[in-house]
Amino acid sequence: MQRQLTIILFVCCVVLVRAASIPIAILSPDFGASYRPYWSLNGASTIVNDKLQLTDDVTNQSGTAFWTGTVCNSNGFKFSAFFSFTITHSGSGSYADGLAFIIQQYANSWGASGGGLGYEGLPGKSIAIEYDTYKNSEYGDPDINHIAIDFGGSVKHPDNTYYAKSSVLTGAGVNLTAGKTFYSWIDYDGSKLQVRISTTTTRPATPVLSYTYDLASYFDGANVYYGFGGATGASMEKNIINSAYINNDYTPIDFLSNTYTQKTPSVSTTNASICRGDSYTFNGTTYTTAGTYAAQLTNAVGCDSTATLQLTVREPSSSTTNASICRGESYSFNGTTYTAAGTYQAHGTFDKRSWLRQYRNVALNGQRTEQFYYQCFNLPWRKLCF
């Protein structure tokens, strides 16, 4: 009896999808030698093991770090940010006080320690998302494990629409005092600000905090600095930022589908000169005096672009020609023929080369049938005055 063996082959096809490469305004996968020069550190902030340490695990510290260049948010102030952070404490006491993601108008500042989170008291207009590990009742904190929105250098919360309390965070599997590494997404679509947080790099579908606000009107078109703040008080913790990805458009950071590159700022210089009394228009602004003028623009990839104008103002020159003719004769002066006595003026653009030839001819011939009287004039090699 013959037996027949049937072999069935299964062919598995794997389709590889190339991730899109997206340029963003701030790219800092870590804070090592390649990225440290782009961050301005203030107060207690320092770099430890290629990570940004805002505070050490000691009492009463405050520190901030801001990207050294401003970022323009001309598209309705839309932005998307992602960063990972770790909060640890080696002692037996309570954690305190937390850290904050900050957008503000001044680069090298840091605010109060303790419940101020390095943010309280910053000058100018600003907004912060705080990740708070200590309940400061005087600020309206709901508990020791909350995320809240702050404005204008104040850490006070007027009502419960400004924060996500502990019950919301624990429902998302988040306890800020657990000594873990967390991943947070902050996105603003031009109207609604949403905050997400997770213990993995997968962006959650549901935000823990959502707040509607007109940031474009609040900042009134100004360029801003992005960065972080942290603080300790009578209790303490180590506040560490591991990485940061920020874009000045609503493009939620997604590491499963995309890779990210640094947008490159562009710089251009225009050299121009005008005669005194004339004007020069540069990027919509009219200038009449000599100087260096800069305009902050947005280039083709949405990055900051600095256009500089170097404007020179040329001084006018004057000359007097004394001439005489016999009656019945004529005299040509600047293309016009005269037959009667009088004083005549002509205005035009001065030709340095023509004037130089005229001057040399008079000097070499040694004759002055016409006398020239010139005011000061800058030649390429010296200044001559007559």
- For the chain, the domains span 24-262, 266-314, 331-384
Query: CA geometry: angle at 101 spanning 212 and 295, to 5°?
Result: 85
Measuring CA to CA, which residue among 102, 120, 124, 101 is closest to residue 112? Answer: 120
Is 1 a residue whose pLDDT tops 80? no
Return the CATH architecture of domain 24-262: Sandwich (2.60)
Is 140 a residue whose pLDDT tops 80? yes
Which has the minimum average pLDDT: 71-80, 136-145, 342-351, 377-386?
A: 377-386
pLDDT tens-digit map of 315-330: 877 778 888 888 888 8
Who's near 291: CB < 8 A, 6+ residues apart? 311
Is 45 a residue whose pLDDT tops 60? yes
pLDDT band at 332 (very low <50, low <70, confident <90, very high): confident
pLDDT for 306 equals 74
Is 268 a residue whose pLDDT tops 60? yes
pLDDT for 110 equals 92
Is 383 a residue whose pLDDT tops 50? no
pLDDT for 304 equals 59
C-alpha–C-alpha distance, residues 95 and 321, integer Å: 89
pLDDT band at 12 (very low <50, low <70, confident <90, very high): very low
pLDDT for 335 equals 83
Q: What is the rounded average pLDDT for all residues in the chain?
A: 84
For residues 266 and 310, the model is more confident at 310
pLDDT for 193 equals 98
> Is the C-alpha dihedral spanning 299, 104, 244, 157 positive or negative?
negative
Please give the average per-residue pLDDT across 54-65, as a whole number: 97
Integer angstrom CA distances of residue 325 from 322, 369, 370: 11, 11, 12
pLDDT for 73 equals 81
Is 136 a residue whose pLDDT tops 90? yes
Q: Is 40 helix (H, G, I), strand (E, B) or coil?
A: strand
Instruction: Kindly give the residue spans of alpha helices, DSSP state H, lying in the chain.
Output: 166-171, 215-219, 352-365
Please give the average per-residue pLDDT across 21-48, as a whole number: 95
pLDDT band at 364 (very low <50, low <70, confident <90, very high): very low
Is 277 a residue whose pLDDT tops 90? no
Please give the average per-residue pLDDT across 228-239, as a whole number: 97
What are the residues facing 287 on neighbouring strands?
280
CB 287 within 8 A of CB 294: no
Measuring CA to CA, which residue among 50, 74, 35 is closest to residue 241? Answer: 50
Which has the minimum average pLDDT: 73-77, 123-127, 241-245?
A: 73-77
Exposed, middle or buried: residue 159 (CB in 10 Å: 0-12, 13-18, 19+)? Answer: exposed
pTM above 0.95, yes or no: no
pLDDT tens-digit map of 82-119: 999 999 999 888 999 999 999 999 878 899 999 999 99
